[in-house]
Structure 1
């Protein structure tokens, strides 16, 4: 990816031509270029790669915690039902 972005940034050839030579789509190369720009400049509008990894991990952790919370709710309801004294 880095090499592709470097080639496209050199400006010797249009981005479309560089993409064609590398056998990737032009839109893919443009996304890579935009991501590289965000990574290098700390863009406010785009997440850099480290932020994307962190966001992915946080979402994964959130799902795990939600599942654990649901299990605990069910266990609490089960044990509360078991401890009810008959009349």
Structure 2
């Protein structure tokens, strides 16, 4: 997971809105706000990708995507735990038959 952003979410969304709704260039908006234009570009790219994903038929919401990601990680963790317990049970079953 990446490091937390030093810019609040409201600031990011407002900066993206300025780029998308005004005639100013992205570099100019970034300079006016005192941020790196590459940082602003990444925010704008992320917003555009999000809009593309949301436009797809049957698309999941951002909350649903985060929940799906969390659940997939939990399933992977549970499979690892299950395999460990299965091996431990086999080991102890073999020990008791000696």
Category of TM-score, reference length = shorter chain: 0.5 to 0.7
Tell me if 1:32 matches 2:46: yes
Contact 2:19 2:25 in 1 (8 A): yes
- TM-score after normalising by structure 2: 0.61
Give the structure with higher Rg (CA).
1
Structure 2, unpaired ranges of 5+: 1-11
Counterparts of residues 1-87 of structure 1 (less than 5 Å): 1-22=12-33, 23-24=35-36, 25=38, 26-38=40-52, 42-44=54-56, 48-85=61-98
Structure 1, unpaired ranges of 5+: none
Aligned residues: 83
- TM-score after normalising by structure 1: 0.66
